[in-house]
Amino acid sequence: MKIVACIKRVPTTEAQAKVGADGKSLDPAGWQYMASFYDEIAVEAAIQAKEKNGGDVTIVTVGPSDAAKEVREFLARGADTGVILKDADWMSRDPRWTAKALAAKVQAIGADLVFTGRVATDRDNAAVGQMLATFLGWACVTEVVALEIEGAKGRAKRETEYGVETVEFSLPAVVTCNKGLNEPRRASLKGIMAVKTKPIAEEAPVDSGVQAVVVSVEIPPARKAGRILGEGAAAVPALIDALRNEAKVL
Amino acid sequence: MSTVLVLVEQFHGSARRAGLECLSAARITGLPIVAVVAGDGAEKAASALGKHGAGKVIALTGAAQWSPDAVARDVAAIAKELDAKAFLAAATATGKDIAPRVAALLDSTLHSDCTGLRSEGGALVATRPWLAGKAIATLRSSAPVFCATTRPNAFAATESGGNAEVVTRPASTDGKAVVTAIAEKVGGKLDVKEASVVVSGGRGLRGPENFHLIEELAAAFGSAATGASRAVVDAGWRPHAEQVGQTGKTVSPQLYVAVGISGAIQHLAGMRTAKVIVAINKDADAPIFKIADYGIVGDAFEIVPALTRAVAEARKH
């Protein structure tokens, strides 16, 4: 089975937002990067699918050469090869652009099963996995919290506002992974040593033209600190009064 | 004629509030609105959409099982037939599942989870959070169809008092993925993204056995959901579905009550757009107090039960 896990290099959750000089982007000065939180779950799902069904796992990312750091981490955990679709503007591409770039690579690899995180924690679109599947004409299950793959059939569970859905599908498929699906493993010493022997290719992504046009970016005004109404249960009546007569939410 | 097509989510024949909010948001475009409803109960849900602004409602009927890819194909086909200028859906679990597929079928990008929408010189402009709300981007689209999802609770569901023509259309039944079962939530428990009041607990609750305090306070508010900080979800005290923050859900309720949550930056990113924030924490220097409208310093185990009683009492009058 040819398995692909798509990952994205994103700013860490501690990163502060500052508007860039053009007023249309964020200034990355001082940012540290990581693989998007849910991508770790996607890679773990990919490695588990390989362990169960055989085959190999390719990590594919659209990003700068520096994304090799995140790719290497996942090679150390058990993925086999890495591909960086090299793009300095990776964070300002729109979901359609990224999905088309990934679709071309997934097709070239000849994959049967693709895992992504349910959302990348930078632009928060939660759209690339579904678009990728649609461009490929594949099945897609999103926000998956449980998964079984048996041959060319899959069964997944996903959480919605009204309950847990069971979804049955046929491969080839794209699965977007939610927290709860698995516990991502750490790299073993042997895995870290093996990274040296695993190739990371750099290729040019398909450029389908960005459609999302950024007009401006702003930092939302800081919320004004409110009032400490007091200490302990004695302050409860003041809170009720404020919620009812001032904020009018009670 | 240019129209805006809105996928309105329904469950058991009732439109979900997030869907009605999306329909209300669609009126901002000034374009004639066509709503599409799908799934079991679609026809029943369709009749109520006229008064929220739909001029026409298309109910996709006859599919025995829900298939996101089949629904997306039907919606995209309708958008093409109508030559729709825009496509909107709510950013719920279902909306987020379907909308990107519809956009892809229309070879158009998608602006997800929008918190604002306006029409400027005939072009649609969306605002949406980046980095879970640390920044707000204003975006246009050069796509053939302007596709966007609207964040639940970010737009008011308002009535237009209109009437809609309802038509049915046979749904595609050749889905590549199908929903074969739904384990429905018991007791109609609300999701944090949908609820108008969210009561969240953090490590200050000391253990999962104490979260009944959070649940009781939420119950006292009425239509409230219980939320949780990342720390307590990671510790396994609460399910991930309740996690509020950058790696959980981003919420915009009318009222957010944070109990025993210090206010890590990734948590604040997920709830800072709440209309009113209340914080209860024993540490007077906790960062949560810097963004809370109202704070009480002290022991949650003493304050929360008193607050629960006071809220229940206040709501009686």
pLDDT in tens, B68-94: 999 999 999 999 999 999 999 999 999
d(CA A32, CA A174): 29
Long-range contacts of B26-29, Cβ-Cβ distance < 8 Å, separation of 24 or more = B26/B53, B26/B86, B26/B88, B27/B53, B27/B158, B27/B160, B28/B117, B28/B118, B28/B119, B29/B4, B29/B85, B29/B86, B29/B117, B29/B119, B29/B124
Element (H, E) at B125: strand B123-130
Architecture in CATH for domain B186-316: 3-Layer(aba) Sandwich (3.40)
What local confidence, expressed as pLDDT, does residue A86 receive?
98
- What's the pLDDT band for B99 if we cut at 50, 70, 90? very high
Q: Hey, are the CB atoms on B69 and A134 less than 8 Å from each other? A: yes
Chain B residues with CB inside 8 Å of A249's CB?
A: 197, 254-255, 275-276
d(CA B314, CA B317): 6
Identify whether the C-beta of residue B200 lies closer than 8 Å to the C-beta of residue B229. yes
Torsion, Cα B91 B96 B102 B104, to 10 degrees, reads 120
What local confidence, expressed as pLDDT, does residue B74 receive?
98
Phi, psi values for residue A192, rounded to 5°: -65, -40
d(CA A75, CA A71): 6
Q: Hey, are the CB atoms on B69 and A212 less than 8 Å from each other? A: no
- Kindly list the strands in the beta sheet with A212-218, ordered across the sheet, starting from the edge strand earlier in the chain: A212-218, B135-141, B123-130, B116-120
d(CA A79, CA B124): 43
A65 touches chain B (CB under 8 A): no
Residues 256-275 of B with CB under 8 A from A: 265-266, 269, 272-273, 275
Average pLDDT in chain A: 96
Chain A residues with CB inside 8 Å of B234's CB?
A: none
Chain A residues with CB inside 8 Å of B113's CB?
A: 124-126
Q: b or e along B231-240 (b: 16 or more beta carbons within 10 Å of the residue's beta carbon)?
A: bbbeeebbeb
A112 touches chain B (CB under 8 A): no
Element (H, E) at A107: helix A95-109
CATH class belonging to B4-170: alpha beta
Q: What is the mean pLDDT of residues B237-246?
A: 92
Could you say which of A122, A160, A215 has the minimum Cβ distance to residue B93?
A: A160
What local confidence, expressed as pLDDT, does residue B161 receive?
83
On the CB side of B276, how many CA atoms lie within 13 Å of its CA?
Answer: 19
ipTM of the complex: 0.95
Torsion, Cα A208 A100 A98 A148, to 10 degrees, reads 180
| CATH 3.40.50.620 domain residues, chain A | 2-203
| CATH 3.40.50.620 domain residues, chain B | 4-170
pLDDT of residue B157 exceeding 90, the answer is: yes
pLDDT more than 90, % of chain A: 95
Matching residue, tokens 């948001």: B25
| CATH 3.40.50.1220 domain residues, chain B | 186-316
Cis peptide before A172 (omega within 30 of 0): yes
CATH class belonging to A2-203: alpha beta
Residues 125-184 of A with CB under 8 A from B: 125-131, 133-135, 138-143, 145, 158-170, 173, 178-180
pLDDT more than 70, % of chain B: 99
- Sequence letter at residue B18: A
- Of the ranges A173-182, B56-65, B177-186, B204-213, which one carries the lowest mean pLDDT score? B177-186
Element (H, E) at A150: strand A139-150
Residue B48 Cα distances to A151, B35, B103, angstroms: 45, 11, 26
- What's the pLDDT band for A88 if we cut at 50, 70, 90? very high
Element (H, E) at B34: strand B33-38
- What's the pLDDT band for B199 if we cut at 50, 70, 90? very high
The pTM is what?
0.93
Task: Report helix, strand or coil for B60.
Answer: strand
For B192, which residue in chain A has the nearest alpha carbon?
A161
The 8-class DSSP code of residue A49 comes to H
Q: Hey, are the CB atoms on A162 and B134 less than 8 Å from each other? A: no
- What's the pLDDT band for B247 if we cut at 50, 70, 90? confident
